[in-house]
Amino acid sequence: MSLYELVRPLLFMLTPEQAHSVAIFALKCGLLPGKSPVISGSLSQNLWGLDFLNPVGLAAGFDKNAEVYQAMLEQGFGFVETGTVTPLAQPGNEKPRIFRLTEDNAVINRLGFNNKGLDYYFSMLQNRNSENGIVGANLGANKLSEDPINDYVIGLKRLLGFADYFTINISSPNTPGLRALQGRETLDELLTKLKAVGREAILQKEPPLILKIAPDLRSDECEDVAEIIMKHEMDGLVVSNTTLSRDGLKSSKMNEAGGLSGEPLFELSTKILSRMYSLTEGKIPLIGVGGISSGADAYAKIRAGASLVQLYSALVYYGPGLVRKINNELELLLKKDGFGNVTEAIGLDHK
């Protein structure tokens, strides 16, 4: 029995948000010993000029304030995405706002981009040693912002050079009006301004800009997003954020408002991932997120078109040891199918 299996009943006696705070505290204090990174020739790849030791990353939402990215890299993740950060600190929505759906191995959250703001977040990243692992920054807009597009510009300008890539989060269901930024004309305006920031930056190369979309987009909306990101030569796409769907759930908490993540999101998010891979003709690296809790899940995302994958909710149920387990299982699956490297399996289901 793993240490997490012993501790989990105690953590589940706490509210989900209390348990998360305990986890962050333990990581900050070094109470979860780090291990050697998961390194494998079959799992490593280079994307955007960055060397990923393995394709399994931590999704945004866990390390909102960029406080424990190094500790999480040491748990075996190939990369860690911090945030979501907004220009101004904000408390988020009223508690309770996170719910475990244990019968479904799922989570519903309506946090609302609670974070300590850009100044604090920047202070956590400014002394980072980039040689210790890949860290991304997930950017959002304040709930009461009068100019949400400018919030993303502010965040990107402030953090240029301090994160390895930037994810533009316009798909959380918990900030009113945010998902409207996925609309054709508004998205075009947003990406025009953000790409201009990258071009004007005094850096050796433009920072990778990645868009994070919802799994609830209609087919025509997917087509619009694909067209706009191709037009602006975006570097990548995260598929997907949480869903508003409640199909197939068993838990009594299924009707809580917010975004659903975890195992029930797997099929829907993988379907949208596959659709976006086809629409972008495999020309843009995709990060597959939603319901991953095994090497087989990660492999399915990769075969559907993902170059990288991310997880978060599964950690609630299986603990940080899951990261190494997924990488080990993925390595065996690649070997079984005769692949020398994970890149050979990307989009395999489309060929």
Residue 272 tokens read as 């949208």
Which residues contact residue 34 at a Cβ distance below 8 angstroms, ignoring those fewer than 6 apart?
71, 73, 74, 75
The whole-angstrom distance between residue 33's C-alpha and the CA centroid of its chain comes to: 23
| Cα separation, 58 vs 136, whole angstroms | 10
Best CA proximity match to 108, nearest among 91, 96, 120, 92: 96
Judged by DSSP in three states, 53 sits in: coil
**Catalytic site includes residue 172:** yes
| Cα separation, 296 vs 306, whole angstroms | 13
Is there a contact between 75 and 36 (Cβ–Cβ < 8 Å)? no
Residue 55 tokens read as 């394709």
* Burial of 308: CB neighbours in 10 Å, binned 0-12, 13-18, 19+: buried
Do the bridges between strand 106-109 and strand 259-262 make them parallel or antiparallel, or are there none, so unpaired?
antiparallel
Strand order of the β-sheet with 259-262 is 98-101, 106-109, 259-262
Angle formed by the axes of helices 3-11 and 16-28, nearest 10°: 130
Catalytic residue among 42, 145, 171, 172: 172
> Which residues carry out catalysis?
172
